[in-house]
Chain A
Amino acid sequence: MRLVLVGTSHHHAPVELRERVALNHEAGAGLAKRLAATGGEAVCLSTCNRTELYVAAPDVDAAERAAVAALAELEPDVEPALYRLRDHAAALHLFRVAAGLDSLVPGEGEILGQVRAAHDAGTTGTLLDRVFRQALHAGRKVRAQTALGEAPASVSSAAAALAEQVFGDLDGCSIMLVGAGKISEQAARSLLSRRATIAFVANRTLDHAVDLAARFGAEPLPLERLEEQLATTDVVVSSTSAPGYILDAETVARARRGRQLLLIDLAVPRDLDPAIHELDGCYLYDIDDLEAIVSETLAGRRGEADRAEAIVAAESEKFREWQASLDVVPAIMSLRARAEEIREGELRKAEGLLGRLDDSQRNAVEAITAQIVNKLLHLPTVRMKQAAAAADGVIYAEAVRHLFGLGEDER
């Protein structure tokens, strides 16, 4: 049984192409079942960044052709954008995917769950089960032992992460959006994903505020009413196109009544008076501050990525050794079966002599002969597995078959 991977990802295909070969959970499971129908195994991993088919089959060329055909059936133009990997290379790729190393944003955490779901929905056997379990293990290990996925990679997620640095759990945190544009909306979504509440949307044009507020279940406000709601707000996200400051330090000092306040100014020119940052308990971050944080965290991710690559390489090497050991398993099993057959045959021949023994004596003879067989075969078994890991497994297996006269039918 060998492993083959056929797929495409954001590295090879634009979104217009990827979306045509994207499969939902049921369709992916159905395709995997179809590919595995000829006695193999198959898993379909389909996310917004990739569609990949992992197939394990004795005839790897036929399995690859079937996988390519299955994707081309969804979109004929996808074929030039497909990559094809086999055995160790395919496993290493999956391990990197599970670790988030192949993601658009390195280290993103969602992919691990998607790999798990694909595995659960797939038609798996010994090989794919092993490779997916080990990939999930590698992904978890990377997350536990590196900081690859800890830092945000966009300005809006950095703003949300900063809010968590001040308020901890954002559940129940009250957010005020000032400005009803796209940037405000992105920041709001990041905060919402961390369970914050968008309480107010303030805008110079109230109609625009009403639209956005309705989407978030917030209260629309005209800019003139900003001050009165500051006292109940934890985070202010501002991104208007106003030419000057819409909130100054005196207003904030007067309105906030001792509460801690995080202010995110995403506007250029800036909306919020920089002097607000000097107030006790007030933290004001503008777009440059956030971009500096994002670029620093991305630099950190690159450093962590090297450590993650090392973890993934070690895990994939373990898989390679395991897969290589499969080459010698039939020979080992045949050898052990032959030895057991000889042992039982000799015991039967000595039945006349053994018949005079009581049960405990017979059991002792059984145990001793079994132990002799095990001890004799232990070292050859270990050496064959070691040889398999060093790529000499097939030669050793052939030698064992030849030396012990193991039949071809036992392979």
Chain B
Amino acid sequence: MAELLFWPTLLFYGEAAFEYFGYARRAGTPGRAAIWGVRLGWLAQTALLAVQAAREDGFPWGTWAGSLNLFVWLVVTVYLGVRKPYRLLGLAVMPLAAALLVVARVGGGTGVGARSHYSNLFLVVHVGLVLAAFAGFTLAAAVSAFYLWQERRLKRREATILRRQAPSLATLDRLASRAVAFSLPALTLGLAVGIARLLGDGERIDAVIATTVVTWFVWAAYLVLRATRGLKGRRAAYVALAGFALVIVVRLALPATHFS
């Protein structure tokens, strides 16, 4: 069943990504086809996650690939929540979602039968908060990448800049900072819960925790510098991308589990 749901999810996300490229060139049908692709893909992935949860004993996304699957769903959920005024953001979000879903499948995170590492509510909350925060950071990074692209168009004085209008620089800057402002508290809480548990169990801080803490500092610096030093625009976008690079390291380059 999970296998059957993976392919429609990928198909719809892929279709949405493809249509967003079309939408960037002209309004109308591609935009509507894209958003329907996102909606249907999201529904299929929701069903996939529900099937995974129903078949497993405990939290079924304990492997890095499994949590990547959940992470993609969170990213698309956040995008669906904010997409109305910023539909073109799908151009940044949906190809990423489709690509990460493929990575999750290659790692075996979209099937059923993997043994869960998380069997109590405490850890479910920890992983859920961290993944939700990472989904928000991913959106912030996608928006920031979009900002840099739009800024580059303005700097290059592209004659086509008004033919297909992207969100304004101010809008993108504001949206990225809001995504970070909502995500950082989630990461703070998720991290605090995890560290408290880890210390209680007498475990050592590993590479995942250390990198996540560094990630927290980068995103916290983003907000603090924004509030105190007026960090905005291109520089803020670069900081967001640096923070996202660390999110990628935590999600993909390091083992996802450190609890038994």
Q: Complex formed: what's the CA distance from A285 to B155 in Å?
A: 9
* Residues of A contacting B27 in the complex (Cβ-Cβ under 8 angstroms): 144-147, 150
With an 8 A cutoff between CB atoms, is B105 at the interface? no
B162 and A162 contacting across the interface, CB-CB below 8 Å:
yes
Chain B 157-171 near chain A by CB (<8 Å), digits 1 or 0: 101111111111111
A152 and B234 contacting across the interface, CB-CB below 8 Å:
no
The verdict on A150 contacting B165 (CB below 8 Å), with A166-B154, A277-B155 known, is yes
The verdict on A168 contacting B234 (CB below 8 Å), with A147-B26, A162-B162, A293-B162 known, is no
* Residues of A contacting B95 in the complex (Cβ-Cβ under 8 angstroms): none
State which of A3-11, A77-85, A120-128, A296-304 sits at the interface with chain B.
Answer: A296-304
Mark out the residues of chain A between 105 and 156 whose CB falls within 8 Å of any chain B CB in the assembled complex: 144-147, 150-152
* Residues of B contacting A281 in the complex (Cβ-Cβ under 8 angstroms): 233-234
Q: How large is the interface on A (under 10, 10 to 19, 20 to 34, 35 or more residues)?
A: 20 to 34
B168 and A296 contacting across the interface, CB-CB below 8 Å:
no
A297 and B170 contacting across the interface, CB-CB below 8 Å:
no
* Residues of B contacting A289 in the complex (Cβ-Cβ under 8 angstroms): 157, 159
Q: Which of A258, A283, A296 is in CB contact (< 8 Å) with B160?
A: A296
With an 8 A cutoff between CB atoms, is B77 at the interface? no
Q: Which of A145, A146, A297, A307 is in CB contact (< 8 Å) with B162?
A: A297
* Residues of B contacting A357 in the complex (Cβ-Cβ under 8 angstroms): none
- If over half of A's interface residues share one DSSP class (helix, strand or loop), that class is named, otherwise mixed; here it is helix
Q: Complex formed: what's the CA distance from A25 to B6 in Å?
A: 59
B contacts with A, residue count (CB < 8 A): 25
Q: For residue B169, which residue of chain A has the nearest CB? A: A166
Q: Complex formed: what's the CA distance from A164 to B160 in Å?
A: 15
CB B232 to nearest CB in A, in angstroms, measures 8
Chain B 25-61 near chain A by CB (<8 Å), digits 1 or 0: 0111100000000000000000000000000000000
CB B35 to nearest CB in A, in angstroms, measures 13
B168 and A166 contacting across the interface, CB-CB below 8 Å:
yes
With an 8 A cutoff between CB atoms, is B230 at the interface? yes
Q: Complex formed: what's the CA distance from A151 to B27 in Å?
A: 12
The residues of B with any CB-CB pair to A shorter than 8 Å are 26-29, 150, 154-155, 157, 159-171, 230, 232-234
Q: Top 6 nearest A-B pairs by Cβ distance?
A: A145-B28, A168-B168, A296-B159, A292-B159, A168-B170, A300-B163
Listed A/B pairs (12) with beta-carbon separation below 8 Å = A144-B27, A150-B27, A150-B164, A150-B165, A165-B150, A165-B166, A166-B168, A168-B167, A258-B230, A260-B169, A292-B159, A297-B162
